[in-house]
């Protein structure tokens, strides 16, 4: 692992991405490839303003027209986090859509996350469907990922959250799926060594086969090609990143949701999940030597929402105190039916990579290049 004391250590001179991402490359100005991609591919094609609002209007009218005689004209997955909460607000209040909110409960909801979802649902007067997954099978899958020693132990939960909503949308014939995905807070997509594709079921099933026990047949799981081909191309399901066509700034959005609905911000992106909070604040920094906040803060730097100096100050300190992280460690161990000592033993085992297990990386990268060429996605996946 690269560290700041390593002689090969390099940090971008524009954002704060560094060589804890082993794929990082730099230009002559020591700007990383994420900064270059944002400058040349994302920014010229991104309109979070009146232009974007005007450009998306024909699609909004089409959604309304096709959904005229239906109870809901689109579906939005909601976690209680900022991005999905603000997407629901914009869809309903700014564009006049009638979304069904979909929430998947994997057993890790924080109290604040539940409260924020409830406030959005009640204040916007929207319908909510909650799918509660089989906890024993969820737990078994997560334990398998811990034992595999891959960095992205949150893949188990991420795969279920993603798959549950798209399977529900497909089953109930929702053509339009609105997501909280956006360039404003996540124009940098962490490298695959940090966060592998959560919908590569070849990878997921291989890990479960090697380290899991019992079954996971009751978990909603959707492979990347089922989603991309069956759902999107054959059924015509359309995924809409509505926040890319509307003025969306993190701090301003948090204040607006708080003022209107009493929605409460989190210490960090994705902390609406107790598991993700533990994984991002403790597991990856301490075991694998990388901090996902680098991508979050760098995205805010590139979109002029945070200065580089501010980001460097924030990244120099952990999000949570040692006491809070110890409480989270004990909480996760207990919920997974482990003792703290057993979880610590897993933590101390040698690290591995997603490359140590079966995966579809080669074919996924091939199709990713096609999607980039067709401008269906302009982020970098390495």
pLDDT of 373 reads 62
Residue with tokens 């200065």: 307
233 — pLDDT class (breaks 50, 70, 90): confident
- Please tell me what DSSP assigns to residue 67: T
For the chain, which domains are there? 48-373 (3.40.50.620)
Q: What is the pLDDT of residues 311-337, one digit of tens each?
A: 999 999 999 999 999 999 999 999 999
382 — pLDDT class (breaks 50, 70, 90): low
Q: Picking from 165-169, 234-238, 248-252, which range would have the lowest pLDDT averaged per residue? A: 234-238
Q: Which of 47, 38, 35 minimizes the C-alpha distance to 241? A: 47
Q: What is the pLDDT of residues 202-222, one digit of tens each?
A: 999 999 999 999 999 999 999
Does pLDDT of 362 surpass 60?
A: yes
1 — pLDDT class (breaks 50, 70, 90): very low
pLDDT of 44 reads 96
3 — pLDDT class (breaks 50, 70, 90): very low
Could you tell me the CA-to-CA distances from 164 to 64, 102, 122, 139 in Å, in that order?
A: 25, 9, 23, 16
- Is residue 77 classed as helix, strand or coil in its secondary structure? strand
Q: What is the pLDDT of residues 237-252, one digit of tens each?
A: 999 999 999 999 999 9
- Report d(CA 297, CA 284) in Å as an integer: 17
Does pLDDT of 376 surpass 90?
A: no
Cβ atoms of residues 352 and 148 within 8 Å: yes
Q: Which residue has the higher pLDDT, 134 or 230?
A: 134
- Report d(CA 73, CA 66) in Å as an integer: 7
Q: Picking from 23-27, 221-225, 376-380, which range would have the lowest pLDDT averaged per residue? A: 376-380
pLDDT of 369 reads 72
- Report d(CA 137, CA 164) in Å as an integer: 14
Does pLDDT of 370 surpass 80?
A: no
pLDDT of 234 reads 84
pLDDT of 381 reads 59
């Amino acid at each position: 692992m690269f560290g700041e004391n390593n002689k090969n250590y390099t940090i971008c001179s524009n954002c704060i991405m560094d060589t804890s991402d082993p794929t990082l490359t730099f230009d002559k100005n020591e700007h990383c490839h994420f900064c270059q991609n944002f400058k040349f591919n994302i920014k010229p094609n991104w309109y979070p303003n009146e232009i974007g609002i005007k450009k998306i209007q024909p699609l909004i009218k089409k959604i309304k027209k096709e959904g005229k005689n239906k109870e809901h004209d689109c579906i939005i997955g909601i976690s209680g986090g900022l991005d999905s909460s603000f997407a629901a607000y914009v869809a309903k209040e700014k564009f006049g859509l009638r979304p069904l909110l979909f929430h998947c409960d994997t057993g890790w909801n924080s109290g604040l996350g539940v409260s924020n979802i409830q406030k959005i649902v009640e204040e916007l007067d929207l319908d909510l469907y909650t799918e509660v997954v089989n906890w024993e099978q969820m737990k078994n899958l997560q334990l398998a990922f811990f034992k595999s020693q891959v960095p992205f132990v949150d893949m188990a939960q991420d795969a279920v959250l993603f798959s549950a909503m798209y399977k529900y949308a497909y089953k109930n014939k929702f053509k339009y799926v609105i997501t909280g995905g956006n360039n404003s807070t996540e124009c940098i997509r962490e490298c695959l060594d940090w966060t592998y594709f959560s919908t590569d079921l070849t990878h997921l099933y291989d890990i479960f086969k090697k380290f899991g026990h019992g079954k996971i047949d009751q978990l909603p799981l959707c492979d990347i090609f089922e989603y991309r081909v069956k759902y999107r191309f054959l059924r015509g399901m359309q995924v809409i990143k509505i926040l890319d066509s509307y003025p969306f700034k993190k701090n301003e959005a948090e204040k607006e949701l708080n003022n209107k609905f009493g929605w409460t911000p989190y210490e960090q992106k994705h902390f609406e999940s107790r598991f993700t909070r533990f994984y991002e604040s403790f597991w990856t920094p301490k075991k694998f030597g990388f901090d996902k906040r680098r991508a979050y803060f760098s995205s805010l730097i590139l979109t002029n929402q945070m200065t580089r100096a501010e980001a460097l100050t924030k990244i120099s300190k952990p999000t949570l105190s040692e006491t809070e992280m110890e409480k989270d460690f004990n909480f996760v161990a207990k919920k997974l039916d482990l003792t703290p000592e057993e979880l610590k033993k897993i933590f101390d085992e040698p690290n591995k990579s997603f490359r140590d297990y079966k995966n579809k990386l080669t074919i996924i990268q091939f199709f990713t290049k096609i999607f980039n060429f067709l401008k269906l996605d302009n982020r970098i996946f390495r």
